[in-house]
A and B are shown apart, each in its own frame.
Chain A
Amino acid sequence: MNLALRDIRHQKSRFIQTCLGLGLLLGVVMSMSGIYRGLFTDATGILNATAADLWVVQQDTSGPFAATSRIPEEIKYRIRAVPGVAQASALSFQNIQSERHGAPFRFFLVGYELGGMGGPPVIVAGRPIRQKHYEIVVDRAMKIGLGERLRLGGDDYTIVGHTAKMVSSAGDPVAYVTLADAQKIQFKDDNNAIRNSREKLAGQLERLPVLSPGQAGRLTPQIAGIVGSTHIVNTVVARLDTGANLVQVQDRISRWNHYRPLTGADQERILTEGMIKKAKMQLGMFRAILLVISGVIISLIIYTMTLDKLRVIATLKLIGTRNRVIVGLILQQSLLMGVIAYVIGFVLIALTRDKFPRRLDLVPIDLQLLFGIVILICIGASLVGIRKAMRVEPAEALGG
């Protein structure tokens, strides 16, 4: 006869409620693990989707994700000419926050060259961008339907396609436009600013004694064109030929002034060890604290359940019940509680994971590890109760 199951059967609702509470706690621990993993997936999402061997950014920066990087677009031609480089594309990135339907609306805008690297990896609905202007592909998480319009930088963009689960390292959903549109959105001033700037420039040129008014008039649009150029990008990514030597290519580009070629591995290190390190540590710490709390709660529950049964244990000892049966009663209840709570927690998180605002990656190894920890906690917690039970004297069963 299994005494643990008989005891649970007798106080079903109390046991289920306890498991439910514990399950919620373990669910939070699982979600912490999921968010912890999700942070890494999110941080490297664009990096992996781009699948570049080299990221050329502004010198002395760790751009384009961790720091600001601005380089001229035409550098891509020079990079393409480096021996070993198979493909090079310019990319621009920017965070955009606006208002939509009265609520803050935040996303990460990627500008890419049509047919080049760094575009949306998968289109789950609609189609990719085909026109050079005013089309946009957005992540499904942005909840904007196909055919709807989004106003950016003074222009309306039509949503032509949806991508899925593409987020920035900050967890914002990603939208894609052509590089030209992205440059216009990011770098082009509005018409009033351009007009004011040109008038100011013309005034300054006219005041120069070395220029005649005619020369100043002819120079103004030329200089304004150079100053107001939007042909700036945040990075140029490159893919190498099969068998090309990455170090050699990197070394060659690093000898140029003003540029820093980072490998994919460098970028991953910058993102994971720099940008999300503290967030990961914070979550890890929180997860560890929750596990300790779970352990304390299970211990207290098992100890209290044992205290409730001291007279029963004394009676069992008096009628000659073996110690292993009494140990089994406590240990099995503790383990059963842990396993049921774990299943409750898992089901809860599996059902709600898509409702979390940030990615929640339930990785099998994390779940297995947590299961192992829960089992260890249950065994450890039951030891407190078992110790108490073993100290009970059969004589305690006697008397009124």
Chain B
Amino acid sequence: MYAVQIENLTKIYGSGHTEVVALADATFDVAPGELVAILGPSGSGKTTLLTTIGLVTEPTRGKVVLDGELIAEDGWPKGLDLKRIRREKLGFIFQAHNLIPFLTAVENVMIALENNGIGAKEARMRSIELLESLGLGHRLNHYPALLSGGESQRTAIARALANQPRVILADEPTAALDTENGKNVMALLKKLAVENNSAILVVTHDQRMVEGFDRIFTFSDGRIVGEKRNS
């Protein structure tokens, strides 16, 4: 079973002469454990693709299946619990890491687990294990303001991984990092994709960061204009 299946996915903003096609007929599948890069210049539709798969933007047309569950077919099906799917099947990593400033590193990971109904004690234990595995054992009780850019992004990755989602969506995760830290984060994502058998879709405009990705899609004007598969 594919982790992500999209078929003719289209997002159009506005109508008539103000119509803007942000995403046009995107079709591809992503297997579990696969690391996929979405490349393209600003305004090419890559973030729209991510937010559509992430149940943040409702598609105008097309189909999205996440881990076997139909989540969009010419719009969202009625009664679809978007938050439940986001909690259970998706993990998000943001450009600006988006850690909750009033929660410590460990609490930032815990919140994702508690959202899924895991008790505080177990959530804390699992969060500590996760952060330690990412080399942040010494920063557990630090607030985001006291973490470096790399540490913040690793904490955000831990939060995205906490519920072992089938799909991780990363929006420019290295944009706020220097080259070395950026490469480290990408290497970490690749390692985690294999270890957790999660499909990881990374949006970036920096070609240097996509070495070792399984597949690379290139977007332009809302369309897939290139697909490269690394063996």
Contact = CB atoms under 8 A, between A and B. Distances in A.
A1 interface: yes
B98 interface: yes
Interface stretch (A71-79, A121-129, A391-399): A391-399
B115 A395 contact: no
A398 B47 contact: yes
Contact of B175 (A1, A321, A400): A400
In terms of DSSP, what is the predominant structure of the interface of chain A? helix
B102 A11 contact: yes
A397 B83 contact: no
Interface in A4-19: 6-7, 9-11
A397 B84 contact: no
B126 interface: no
A325 B123 CA distance: 17
B95 interface: yes
A395 B52 CA distance: 10
B100 A320 contact: no
A131 B54 CA distance: 96
B102 A315 contact: no
A311 interface: yes
B110 A1 contact: yes
Contacts of A11: 102
Interface string A380-400: 000000000000011101111
B129 interface: no
Nearest to B91: A319
Interface in B72-104: 83-84, 86-88, 90, 92, 94-96, 98, 100-103
A322 to B, nearest CB: 7
Q: How large is the interface on B (under 10, 10 to 19, 20 to 34, 35 or more residues)?
A: 35 or more
A1 B120 contact: yes
A400 B86 contact: no
Interface string B181-214: 0000000000000000000000000000000000
B179 interface: no
B2 to A, nearest CB: 22
B66 interface: no
B102 to A, nearest CB: 4
A316 interface: yes
B70 interface: no
Nearest to A312: B100
Contacts of B87: 319-320
Given A1-B120, A395-B51, A398-B94, A318 B101 contact: no
A99 to B, nearest CB: 61
A317 interface: yes
A398 B171 contact: yes
Given A394-B56, A395-B56, A398-B51, A319 B94 contact: no
Contacts of A315: 94, 98, 100
B217 interface: no
Interface centre among B84, B88, B100, B176 (most CB of A within 10 A): B100
Interface of A: 1, 3, 6-7, 9-11, 311-312, 315-322, 325, 393-395, 397-400
- State the 4 A-B residue pairs at the shortest beta-carbon distance, nearest first: A320-B87, A10-B102, A320-B86, A7-B102
Given A319-B92, A320-B116, A398-B51, 17 more contacts: A1-B110, A1-B111, A1-B114, A6-B103, A10-B101, A315-B100, A319-B87, A320-B83, A320-B87, A322-B83, A393-B56, A395-B57, A397-B94, A397-B98, A398-B94, A398-B171, A400-B172
8 contacts: A7-B102, A319-B86, A319-B92, A319-B115, A320-B86, A320-B87, A322-B83, A398-B171
